[in-house]
Amino acid sequence: MTVSYRQPGVVLTDHRFTVPLDHERPTGESIELFAREVVASDKAHQNLPWMVYLQGGPGFGANRFVGRQAWLDRALKDFRVLLLDQRGTGASTPANRQTLPLRGGPREQADHLALFRADSIVRDCEAIRPGLTGGAPWTVLGQSFGGFCTVHYLSSAPEGLSAAVVTGGLPSLDAHADDVYRAAYPRIERKVAAHYARYPQDVERARRIAEYLLQHEPVLNGGYRLTVEAFQSLGILLGGSDGSHRLHYLLEDAFVRTPQGHALSDAFQEEVQGLLSYAGHPLYALVHEAIYAQGGRPTAWSAERVRAEFPQFDAAKTLADDGPLLFTGESVHPWTFETDPALRPLRDTAEELAARTDWAPLYDPARLAANEVPVAAAVYHDDMYVDAGHSLRTARAVRGLRTWVTDEFEHDGVRAGGPRVLDRLLALTRDEV
């Protein structure tokens, strides 16, 4: 049963679909997908082409917009939009510490989670597309990890696409996770240096907090263990358009005076827990490195291993000297499954995934080289999350792909830039610019 309702300027319809858990076994177990259809109020009864939105992540449900926010306003001028909660996310059948034990032990849970990568997400899209569009191809908008899914779409089912738009999400076609993180840590260091150049007072603030954490390692109200490494991972904010400012405001009010001396304030701890907890998106931590896995090699906690090659990120060594503390970025580590109570029961499952070697290839270079789908991609010049060099190499490998390389936006440009980013990319797919 579908339910329709209204918000300012739009008509929304909620959809639930049943798809195979494993598309190689179509008569086996099934899962449910949730998706929200959005159409402009004055076009609700028109026969419009469809755009499906693939959210970044992995592990996040689609945006919960109110009305015509951000890029959606531009999309609704031309399309009926489907905001898809990818499998395991949002209101789709969940995969988390509460549900995964139904699968059995860590090995069985890892086998289950191996079905939550881009290949399965694209097959989900193809399973639901004919019933929505009447069989017509649709346009896909892929943000970040959604762009990874889009490139897999072009590799595996281009007949389902009338056009493809990617924002901050052109993956390397052949890089191992180690290559991804070797390219990432220097970019992260540049972002941290830029933050301290903007807010030089934060150098001492960050050092003071880190010194406190090394001595006390507090347990936050929700059970999160705030280690210095976890604190450093707040650098993930620096990849967003307003992230440097958010980090600054967080650091400036960290301490409060108590009868026992200075301590981290309740307000600081509450905000930090909200930023660091994976309770709302555990798939991000579980399959994050797996989105890069192919070619028979394990990821083997790549971000952790590669970090050791960059000793400047070692907080204890930094604090022994007088240098600035370096924050880190978009990475998952073994200690993530110790500090976060939402992930602790899944530590052994994460180990199984890190050791796995039977990952199928995600991209087909020959098919991409023969691509006929109009494709446009925004490549952000110093994107902290996705290496621009990797993205541009992939762009050259996809026939007909047009890029817009810009340093006007960070990784979240399609959100922060409102309709402008999507408008330009759609124009590129139509040869209008």
Residues known to be catalytic: 144, 358, 411
Cα–Cα dist 384/9, whole Å: 35
For the chain, give the secondary structure using H, E and C. CCEEEEECCEEEEEEEEEEECCCCCCCCCEEEEEEEEEEEHHHCCCCCCEEEEECCCCCCCCCCCCCCCCCHHHHCCCCEEEEEECCECCCCCECCCCCHHHHCCHHHHHHHHCCCCHHHHHHHHHHHHHHHHCCCCEEEEEECHHHHHHHHHHHHCHHHEEEEEEECCCCCCCCCHHHHHHHHHHHHHHHHHHHHHHCCHHHHHHHHHHHHHHHHCCECCCCCECCHHHHHHHHHHHHCCCHHHHHHHHHHCCEEEECCEEEECHHHHHHHHHHHCCCCCHHHHHHCHHHHCCCCCCCCCHHHHHHCCCHHHCHHHHHHCCCCCCCCCCCCCCCHHHHCCCCHHHHHHHHHHHHCCCCCCCCCHHHHHCCCCCEEEEEECCCCCCCHHHHHHHHHHCCCCEEEEECCCCCCHHHHCCHHHHHHHHHHHCCCC
DSSP β-ladder status, 375-380 and 402-406: parallel
List all residues 6 or more positions away from 258 whose beta carbon is below 8 Å from its beta carbon. Answer: none
List all residues 6 or more positions away from 417 whose beta carbon is below 8 Å from its beta carbon. Answer: 71, 408, 409
Phi first, then psi: give them for residue 294, nearest 5 degrees: -170, 165
Peptide bond preceding 94 in cis form (omega within 30 of 0) = no
